[in-house]
Amino acid sequence: MVDIKKLIKEQERLAKKVSLKNEYGSIKLIGGVDQSYKGDKIISALVVIDAQTLDIVEKVYAVSIAPLPYIPGFLSYREMPVILEAFAKLEKKPDLLMVDGNGILHPRRIGIACHIGIILDIPTVGVAKKLLCGKEKGDSVELDGEKRATIIRTKEHAKPLYVSPGHKISMKNAVDLVNTLVKLPHKLPEPIYLAHRYADELREIVT
């Protein structure tokens, strides 16, 4: 049985630790992480690329049984354990991590990208494919009177991306970085695209 009230209290406590300041130096390695599912298993695929060439430097994965069902607003409690397991396998840690999910675009301002950023003490950016909360106003998503995400259309006729800072990075820098890392014809920024493709490949071989 999931104690939602306990999780909400923890989220409210963690949300106070989120920093939207650019707390990083040069970014040489960027990670992208995405998950795929096979039955009751979660497969976390993590790809690290060179920030300049966009070449893959390292890729790892981890598999685990989903610790709880999907509950909107609590995705990090479902996916973060296996993400951390994959991250621990990396020999070359990224200077920044892009997460398939939300940053501060969350009812309590603590989406999975924020949560991971705080736990790993690393700059993170959330890149979501669907709008789960907030209202679209122009190229922004607002929630509780605050801009929580920027809507980016990287490819004509494709659905938009919702970019929100996770931790140790500003909204502007998060958006600029995502735009810099889009390599057409891919709609997603390259770290997320490569992780997404790797996650799909792994689903075919994981038993």
pLDDT for residue 170: 98
Q: Is residue 137 part of a domain?
A: yes
pLDDT tens column, 17-46: 999 999 999 999 999 999 999 999 999 999
Q: Can you tell me the mean pLDDT for 115-125?
A: 98
Q: Residue 63: is its pLDDT beyond 90?
A: yes
pLDDT for residue 171: 98
Q: How far apart are CA 9 and CA 115, in angstroms?
A: 14
The answer to whether the CB of 194 falls within 8 A of the CB of 47 is yes
Q: Is residue 14 part of a domain?
A: no
Q: What percent of the chain has pLDDT over 70?
A: 100
Q: Is residue 31 part of a domain?
A: yes
pLDDT tens column, 88-115: 999 999 999 999 999 999 999 999 999 9
User: What range defines the domain where residue 119 resides?
Assistant: 26-205
> What is the pLDDT confidence band of residue 157, given thresholds at 50, 70 and 90?
confident
pLDDT for residue 1: 79
Q: How far apart are CA 191 and CA 77, in angstroms?
A: 23
pLDDT for residue 122: 98
Phi and psi angles of residue 176, each rounded to the nearest 5 degrees, phi first: -60, -40
Q: Is residue 15 part of a domain?
A: no
Q: Is residue 3 part of a domain?
A: no
Number of separate domains in the chain: 1
pLDDT for residue 158: 87
> What is the pLDDT confidence band of residue 155, given thresholds at 50, 70 and 90?
confident
Domain of 67, CATH number, reads 3.30.2170.10
Q: Is residue 1 part of a domain?
A: no
